[in-house]
Amino acid sequence: MTQARLEVAPGERPRIPASEQGSFSGFLVYTIGLLVAVILTVTSFWVANTSALWSPGVPPGLVVLAIAQMGVHLVFFLHVTTGPDSTNNILALAFGVLIVFLVLIGSLVIMANLNENMAAHAELMNLHMQH
């Protein structure tokens, strides 16, 4: 017990090993996460299917709800926090977000130029048919 006290920085609470923590607190965290996730999901469906909202505001609203949903999953289910133990988790998450962002931007650029690239091919096919 003395060694455990020496490993705690001043001002911090000593960590309780998972084996000594109550299973009720873990159940409570998962239950709260589930309730918040269900509320966000129901709200997303309502926002997408209602005519009571300003229609140009619906897509940004859905994006905000999706980001909130990801945050709930990261915190309540994957236990990604900003603590010193989660440094690798946060770096892996940031790298994953970067990769998704790059794939999304690359896909949008390809789709934006798709018509221009396909038009030349159609013209060549018409020239080939005429001769």
**The model's pTM:** 0.59
**What does the pLDDT read at residue 66?**
93
Q: What pLDDT score does 26 carry?
A: 83
Asked whether residue 74 falls in the same domain as residue 87, the answer is no
The per-residue pLDDT for 96 is: 87
Tens-of-pLDDT digits for all 131 residues of the chain? 445 445 554 555 566 665 555 677 888 989 999 999 999 999 999 999 998 889 999 999 999 999 999 999 988 988 887 777 777 888 888 898 899 999 999 999 988 888 776 665 666 667 666 65
- Residue that finishes a domain, picked among 79, 96, 113: 79
Q: Which of 35, 38, 63 is nearest to 48 (CA)?
A: 63
Judgement on whether residues 74 and 88 belong to the same structural domain of the protein: no
Specify whether 107 is located in the same domain as 89.
yes
Domain that holds residue 97: 83-131
Contact assessment for residue 47 and residue 39, using Cβ atoms and an 8 Å cutoff: no
Residue 96 host element (H or E): helix 87-112
Q: Which two tokens stand for residue 40?
A: 């966000």
d(CA 56, CA 23): 45
Same domain? 67 vs 89:
no
Number of domains in the chain: 2
Q: Which of 41, 58, 79 is the last residue of a domain?
A: 79
71 lies in the same domain as 28: yes
List Cα–Cα distances, 23 to 20, 49, 109, 121, 129, in angstroms. 9, 39, 49, 64, 74
Phi, psi (rounded to 5 degrees) for 21:
-75, 150
66 & 31 share domain: yes
Same domain as 13, residue 63: yes
CB 68 within 8 A of CB 42: no
